[in-house]
Amino acid sequence: MTIGLKTLSDYYLELIMHFPPRPITNEEEYQATQEQINKILDQPKITDDDRAYLKILGLTIYDYEEKHESFPILRGVDLIIALLEESNLSDRDLIPILGNKTIVKEILDRDRPPSLEESIKLATFFQITADRF
């Protein structure tokens, strides 16, 4: 079969026939699509056909999530904690940024919010805007 200028390989056609990409309309389809993606990602070797197919499946996942998933907007200490986790860092990694462990503890224990200067330092460190703190 030919699509545009490219002839599709038998393997790519097999991928499409086994799990045809379609817009996701519910959680069950979302989970099934995610399982299909994971099956391919778990393979020892991923081919160009796999990558092309994954891109299509990924777009359907993205489209569904944009319409159906709401992600909380984190601010303040919740944001700092999430950024630490995401960056695989610990509280101690903030000591050079904020000055000392007492300041880090006060902020993370919610005893006080970060000052404007501390927020700017954190924003610079995590590469986000200071207004998020």
**Predicted model pTM:** 0.53
Which residues contact residue 80 at a Cβ distance below 8 angstroms, ignoring those fewer than 6 apart?
Answer: 94, 107, 108, 114, 122, 133
Check residue 131 and give its pLDDT. 76
Check residue 24 and give its pLDDT. 97
Check residue 1 and give its pLDDT. 57
pLDDT along the chain (133 residues), means of 10: 73 96 96 97 96 97 89 86 94 96 97 94 90 74
